Structure 1
C-alpha cells in the first residue's frame, strides 16, 4: 500500500462526482496523493462516495464497500471511510452491519473527515476541485436538494430541501475552471429549473445561464435535469440567442398517462406535457431533448403503458433513458401503494419501450449523415478518435467516431466533421 495515497471511489451520479472532486482538492492541500476510481486500489486510505437512489445502486455501493472491507481485513488498506447518499440515509444500520468501516459520513459533512484524520480544511481550496473528467469539460453543480415530492423518489429524503448556490460563487467557479482549460460545462442539479426560488421566490435559471455564457472562454453549456411543471420559458430564449448554450435539454418526464402522472404526484398533466414539448421545439429549432421514463409503477395498466409507447413515438426524443420502478422505503408509494407488477412484466415493458426508442434514435442519427457538425474530441481509442457534438453529453449520449489518419487531433479541441454514416446510437465522421 502506498503511504499518503488516498483512493476515492465515486458511485452514482455526476453530482456525487463534484463532491469527490472537492474532497480530493482538500486532501491534496494536506499533502496526500489522490487517485480517483483506480483499477486496483493501492492507497493506505480509501473513501467510497456512495449512491442510494435505487435498489441496484444501493447494492452496487454495498458490494463495493464489502470489497474494500476485504482489502482492509487482508492488510492491504489502513483506513476505510464511506460518504454520500447511502450513508446519509442508512448511517445507523450501516454502522451496525459493517463495523469494519472506520467512519460513515453523510452527503454534507464529509469534509469532517479531514479533521478526523488530524488535518485542517484548507481555506485557500474552498470551493475548488480536482477535476476527474478530461480537462476540457466539467460538471457544474448549481444547487442541492429538491422541493418536489414525487411519490416514488427518495432524493428529497436524502438531500433535503432545495438550496441554490449563490450566483457569484457559481460564476467565480466557472472563471476558475476556464482558467484551468475547461471549455464545456454540464450544468447539473436535482432540479435545475427551480434555481433561485429559495432565495427570493423567483426562478433565476435563465439569468444564471446567460451570465455563465457571457464568460470568455466558455464554449458549450449543457443543461441537465429540468422539471416540466412551471417550466421557465425564458430559459429557451437564452438557449436560442446564445450560441454557446447547447440546444440540449435534459427534462425527466417519467410517464404520460394522467392516471400515472397523478399517482406519481408529478403536478403536471398529459396535455400540459405535450404542449410544453411543442413549445420547446418551436422556441429552439433543432433542440435535442433527453428524457427519462419509468415503467411498472404500482397500478400501471396495460392501457397506461400503451399510452406511454404512443407518446414516445409522437415525441421522438433524441435521447431517452428508461427504468423499471423499484420501491424505495420512506417514499409515498412504498408506504401507500402495493408494488403489484411482477419483475418479469416490468422487464417486458422496459424492453418494449427501449426497442421503440432504439428505432427512433437510429432514424434521428441517420438524418445527420452528410451534415457538417462541430465535434469536441474526448479521447483516442484504438483506431478512432472519439468525440461529441453539442447534442451529446459525456457518458450518456451517442459519440462521433473519426478514423485516426495522418492528422493528429487534439483532445479538447473542436473540429468541423462531416457525418458519413450512423448506427443506432453512434455516428461516424471525417474531418472537413
Structure 2
C-alpha cells in the first residue's frame, strides 16, 4: 500500500471560518452595547496536553469573536467542556458538571453550552447527551475543531442543538487563531492521532490515524512563538516518534528536532510522548547533539511483564525496554526518564506485578505517572475475562508508589550541593517571594528571586531536596 499523504484543510474552508468569526464579532458587539458589559466565555479542559492545546485554539477563535475569558461559569455567556475519555472517572466528572449547568441555563436563556473533545467521538456518549442533557447546544469532536465558528453561528441562529461529530479525517487545519495560556512556554502539536492500537487504549478510535503537520508550518509556528517572547516549546503527539511517516519525502522526528534546534530565540525544546517501539538510534543521537533539546525523555513502559506487554499489544518485551533505557543512558548519561505505568491490567498476576517493580528498580525513573487500569468500552482489554479486583489493584498501586517515591528521592538526593540551570517561570503558587522554574531534566526548583528574572535562565545551587521538588539559592 502506498504512503497516505496527510492533506491540509483548504484555504477556502479556513477563510469561510474567518467569515463566521466576523459575523459573530458583529453579533457580540451588538450584545455588549445592549447588555452594557463584556460577553464572556469559560473553557474547562479535562485530559491531556493535546486537549490543553485544543482549548488554546478555541480561546483564540473566541477572543477574535469579541468574547472575554472568565474563570467562572456563573458569569459566562458561553461555556465549553473539552473532554477526555482515557479513564472512566474523567467521563463521570463531565456528566456531573453538565448536570450542574442546567440551572445556569434556566436563569440565562442566552447561555450557550458546548461540549467537545475525545468523549464526543464515542457514539453512545453523544446519544446519552442528546437524550439526557437537552440544555447542551453544541456537540462536536476532535476532527472538526476548526469548524467551531460555523457551529457556534448555527447554534446562535437556530436555537437548537447542533451535533457535528466526524468519524475521522486525513486533513490538518492550519492558520486558525490561538491564545496561549502562558507566554514563556508553549505546546506545539506536531502530529495528531495514533496507529498503535494498544489493547487498553481508546485514543486511536477517538483521535484517528496518525497525521503529521507540514514541517514548514511547525517551523513558522515556532519562529512566531520565539518572536513573541516564548522561551520553551513542548512538541506534542500521541507518538511523536512516528512523525513524518505519512508525509511524502524523507521526514523523521529526529530531523524535525535538528531543524528546530537551529532556530533563534527558543532556549529549550521538549517533546512527548515517545513509544518505545519507535525510539530510533537516530532520535537518541538528535537528543544528544541538539543544544536546545532538553535531557528528559518520557518513555511509557506501561507494565514490566513481557506477557502483559504482549496482551497490551505494546510490541516490545521487558528485556527490549530495559536495553533501550541502557542505550539511551549510554549516549546521554545525565538524561532524566519519566514513564507511565498501568496497575491491574486484566490477567496481571502477582508475578507479573513483581516484574513491573523490577523494571522500576532497574530503569530508575525520575518520575512515574501511575494509573489503575480502567475499562474503556470499545477496546479489546475491556472484554477480557480476567479483570483484577479493585482492592488488589489498589494494594499493588500503593507498593509501586512507595518504590517509585524512594527511587525519585534517591535521584534527587544526588543533586544536593550541585548547580543547575533553571528557566524562571514565575512566582511559586504558595509564596510572594519564592520563584519557581525547571531544570533541563524537568526538575522543579524553588528559590528566592525577583520579578525581572522571569523568562531568563539562571544558575541555582541546590541546598534542600524533596521527593518532587528542589530548593536552592541563586548563584
Q: TM-score, normalised by structure 2?
A: 0.84
Q: Which moved more, 1:55-64 or 1:276-285?
A: 55-64
User: Which residue matches 1:229?
Assistant: 277
Moved more, 25-34 or 215-224: 25-34
Counterpart residue number, 1:18 = 53
Q: Which residue of 2 aligns with 1:401?
A: 446
SS in 1 for 2:338: strand
Partner of 2:120: 87
Q: Report the equivalent of 2:3.
A: none
Cα deviation 1:394-421 (Å, max 9, x = unaligned):
xxxx5211134xx545322211111111
Give the deviation of 1:3 after TM superposition: 4.3
Residues 128, 390 of structure 1: alpha-carbon distance in 2 compared, 3 angstrom cutoff:
farther
Moved more, 293-302 or 70-79: 70-79
- Over 3 Å counting, the alpha-carbon distance change for 1:334 and 1:201 in structure 2 is farther
Asked whether the equivalents of residues 408 and 467 of structure 2 are also in contact (C-alpha less than 8 Å), the reply is yes
2:179 maps to: 130
How many residue pairs match? The answer is: 417
> How far apart, in 2, do the equivalents of 1:66 and 1:136 lie?
36
Conserved in 1, the CA contact under 8 Å of 2:184 and 2:232? yes
> Is the CA contact 2:412–2:465 (under 8 Å) kept in the aligned structure 1?
yes
Pair 1:369-2:402 in alignment: no
Match of 2:405 among 338, 342, 358: 358
Select the residue among 358, 367, 374 that pairs with 1:319. 367
Tell me, what secondary structure is at the counterpart of 2:144? coil
Contact 2:257 / 2:290 at 8 angstroms: preserved in 1? no
Q: Distance in 1 between matches of 2:131 and 2:416?
A: 57
Q: Distance in 2 between matches of 1:117 and 1:263?
A: 43
Determine if contact 1:203/1:232 at 8 Å carries over to the other structure: no
CA contact (8 A) 1:87 1:94 kept: no
Deviates more, 1:325-334 or 1:379-388: 379-388
- Which of structures 1 and 2 has the bigger CA Rg? 2
Q: 1:85-142 deviations in whole A, cap 9, x for unaligned?
A: 11222222221121110121111223333123339xxxxx92441001x210001111
Q: How does 1:237-386 map to 2 (within 5 A)?
A: 237-335=285-383, 337-381=384-428, 382=431, 383-386=433-436
1:390 counterpart = 2:435: no
1:151 equivalent in structure 2: 199
CA separation of 1:169 and 1:176: change in aligned 2, threshold 3 A: same
| Matches of 1:283 and 1:140, distance apart in 2 | 26
Q: Deviations over 1:35-69 (max 9, x none)?
A: 4xx15542211111111111121122222222333
CA–CA distance in structure 1, aligned partners of residues 301 and 249 of structure 2: 24
Distance of aligned partners of 1:379 and 1:76 in 2 relative to their CA distance in 1, 3 Å threshold: farther
Aligned to 1:60: 93
**Secondary structure at 1:131 match in 2:** coil
Q: Structure 1 residues 339 and 179 mapped into 2: Cα distance closer, same or farther (>3 Å)?
A: farther
Q: How does 1:403-418 map to 2 (within 5 A)?
A: 403-404=448-449, 407-418=450-461
Q: Find the aligned partners of 1:49 and 1:56 in 2 and give their Cα distance.
A: 15
Q: Which residue number in structure 2 is paired with residue 198 of structure 1?
A: 246
Deviates more, 1:360-369 or 1:378-387: 378-387
Query: CA, structure 1 residues 209+69, in 2 after alignment: closer, same or farther (shift >3 Å)?
Result: farther
- Tell me the secondary structure at the aligned position of residue 145 of structure 2: coil
Q: CA deviation at 1:273?
A: 0.9
Q: 1:256, 1:270 within 8 Å by CA — same for their partners in 2?
A: yes
1:245 aligned counterpart, secondary structure = coil
Give the conservation status (yes or no) of the 8 Å contact 1:288–1:317. Answer: yes
Q: 1:109 aligns with which of 139, 144, 147?
A: 144
Q: Deviations over 1:153-207 (max 9, x none)?
A: 0001111111111111111111111111111011111111011112248660001
Matched, 1:71 2:104: yes
- Listed one character per residue, the Cα deviations across residues 335-387 of structure 1 (whole Å, up to 9, x for unaligned) are 3x125211111011111101100000001111111111111122213141111
Offset of residue 29 of structure 1:
1.8
Structure 1 counterpart of 2:65, from 17, 26, 30: 30
Give the whole-Å Cα distance in 1 for the aligned partners of 2:216 and 2:233: 16
Tell me what 2:264 maps to.
216
| Pair 284,127 (structure 1): closer, same or farther in 2 beyond 3 Å | farther
Hey, what's the Cα distance between the residues in 1 that align with 2:249 and 2:340?
Answer: 28
CA distance in 2, matches of 1:257, 1:250: 19
Q: Does 2:133 match 1:98?
A: yes
Secondary structure of 2:39 counterpart: strand
What displacement does 1:265 show?
Answer: 0.9
Contact 2:73 2:79 in 1 (8 A): no
Q: 1:83 to 1:257 in 2, by over 3 A?
A: same
